[in-house]
Amino acid sequence: MNELMINGDKRMTVREVAEALGYQPDTIQKTAKALEVEGKIARIEIRPDSSHALLLDEAQVQAVKDALVPRTQALKSRVDAAVTEQDMAEKALDVMLYLTNKVAEQRAQLAVKDEALAIAAPKIESFDALMRSEQTMSITEASKHFHLHPETETFPYLRDHRYLTLDDLPTQAAIDAGYLSLRQTKCPDGQVRSQAVVLASQLETWRIRVVPQIMAWEAKSD
């Protein structure tokens, strides 16, 4: 550093101050001139040679430094704030994209479910209507529905467990268990006779109770 002595004080050129403080020479010169105009520093000396460079004493260098550091810190704070705000904006965008994709995925799943329900709805309604109705099946028809042989499996089981009388009418035990019902049926000869029937609403009971019992009984008999 080429320091000059003027009136016993050490002086530094603008370039030397810039190198020492880490700023551009133009920044040092403008700041020093502004402080001089504002009366915050003494009049700045000019180097007494052909370069006409400004010379700053120690007090002036310190004043320039004090003026520049807060400004630099404020600028850094604004930059940091801008970076932080950008990071937050990018994160918010990521969250929005995630939520948008999630909503689209859920809508697609709902669309598949709605389509499945639309296809199944008529079948469900038909089954519900059947279950609420008084439609009936004969024991033979119910047996075939569950792939049982009426004469060798179903009737023998029902008689053996006293769910049918000798006249093949339902006993009270069969009625109470929900296996069979008694209905008056008009026969081909025009006569109305009592008959053991399986109500549509009793088919589920057959599926979960009667059919397994018949199969277990048949296996035990073998």
- 7-24 pLDDT, tens digit each: 445 788 888 888 888 888
Query: b or e along 178-190 (b: 16 or more beta carbons within 10 Å of the residue's beta carbon)?
Result: bbbbeeeeeeeee
Could you list the residue range(s) of the whole structural domain that residue 194 is in?
136-221
Average pLDDT in the 124-138 region? 59
Identify whether the C-beta of residue 53 lies closer than 8 Å to the C-beta of residue 13.
Answer: yes
Domain end residue (candidates: 60, 77, 94)? 77
Of the listed ranges 2-6, 8-12, 139-143, the one predicted with least confidence: 2-6
DSSP string, 30-57: HHHHHHHHTTSSPPPEE-SSTT--EEE-
CATH number, domain containing residue 23: 1.10.1660
pLDDT in tens, 52-78: 577 888 888 888 888 887 665 555 555
What's the CA gap between 178 and 207, in Å, rounded?
Answer: 12
Count: domains in the chain: 2
Identify whether the C-beta of residue 206 lies closer than 8 Å to the C-beta of residue 146.
Answer: yes
Identify whether the C-beta of residue 59 lies closer than 8 Å to the C-beta of residue 9.
Answer: no
Identify whether the C-beta of residue 26 lies closer than 8 Å to the C-beta of residue 4.
Answer: no
This model's pTM is above 0.75? no
